[in-house]
Amino acid sequence: MKDIQIFSDFDGTITKEDTLNKFLRTYASESWLDLEQKWIRGEVGSRECISEQMRLFPNMTQEVLDEFIDSIEIDESFVSFYDHVKSSGIDFCVVSDGFDYFIKRILFKYGIKDAKVYSNHLEFEDGKFNVSFPYSSEKCKRKSGVCKCSVVSENTKRNTIVTKRVIYAGDGISDFCVSDKVDILFAKGDLLEYCKNTQKGECGSFGSSRPTVIEFCSFAEIEKYIKQI
C-alpha cells in the first residue's frame, strides 16, 4: 500500500464540464448569473450563492432532473484510475462544493458505487430543492458550502501511524484555498492559472512547503504518476 492519500474535486475535474453551472444555464432563471458573479468577486460564499440559486427553478420535475444528470459525462480515464486506487488500497475521496445527488447518480452510472464523497446535500420534493451543508465550517474564510481545507485536514489527521503524502486534483475557484494544504497538486483550468499567478494561497503563504504543481488533462496522467512513485 502506497503512503499517499488522494482527494479530487468533481465538477470540471472528474466530469467533462461543470455540472451545476450547466444545470443552472439550462433550467434556472437568468438571475443565477448575478449570484455567480457575486461569488466570483468574493462578495458571498458558495453556501449563500448555491442556496439562492437552487430557488430559481420554476418548472423542474424529477424526470427532467434525472434525465439531465444522466446526460453528464466523466473523464474517460477516471474509471480505470478509480479501479487502480481501489485495488491498490489507496485512500481516495471526492471533495466537491456540488451536490451529492448529482455526484452519486453520475458515478453510479459508470459503475462506481462505493466512492467516499464529501459534498453539499440535495433533496428534491414537490418541485422544490432543499439544500444543506454537512461539511461547512464557521472557520471557513470563503464561507463555502464544503470547507475543503477542513475535509482534507480531518482525513489526513487520521493517519497517526504513517504520514502520507496528500495528492489533490482540481480545476476551479473552490479549490484555491486547499491548494497550499497538500503535497502534490494536479491542476487545470482556473486552478492552474491561480497557481501560476500567485505565490500565496487563500489561507497563507506557500513558503517552503509549496506543493509540487502538475498540469494535467485527464486521470490517466494521475494514474501513471502514482504508479511510478
Q: What is the pLDDT of residues 158-200, one digit of tens each?
A: 655 567 899 999 999 999 999 999 999 999 999 999 998 875 4
Cell 495528492 found at: 167
- Which residue type occupies 82? Y
Contact criterion met (CB below 8 Å) for 146 and 133: yes
92: nearest Cα among 163, 150, 170, 167: 167
Domains of the chain: residue spans and CATH? 4-228 (3.40.50.1000)
Q: Around 95, how many Cα atoms within 13 Å sit in the side-chain half-sphere?
A: 31
Confidence band (pLDDT; 50, 70, 90) for 1?
A: low
In the predicted model, what is the mean pLDDT of residues 62-72? 97
In the predicted model, what is the mean pLDDT of residues 63-76? 98
In the predicted model, what is the mean pLDDT of residues 69-89? 97
Cell 484555491 found at: 176
Contact criterion met (CB below 8 Å) for 20 and 11: yes
In the predicted model, what is the mean pLDDT of residues 41-62? 95
Confidence band (pLDDT; 50, 70, 90) for 49?
A: very high
Give percent of the chain with pLDDT exceeding 90. 84
Residue 181 has a CB neighbour count (10 Å cut-off) of: 22
Q: What is the pLDDT of residue 14?
A: 98
Confidence band (pLDDT; 50, 70, 90) for 117?
A: very high
In the predicted model, what is the mean pLDDT of residues 51-68? 95
In the predicted model, what is the mean pLDDT of residues 113-132? 96
Sheet architecture: strand order including 212-215: 128-132, 116-125, 91-99, 4-8, 165-170, 184-187, 212-215
Query: Residue 201 pLDDT > 50, yes or no?
Result: no
Q: What is the pLDDT of residues 149-164, one digit of tens each?
A: 999 999 987 655 567 8
In the predicted model, what is the mean pLDDT of residues 127-144? 94
pTM: 0.92
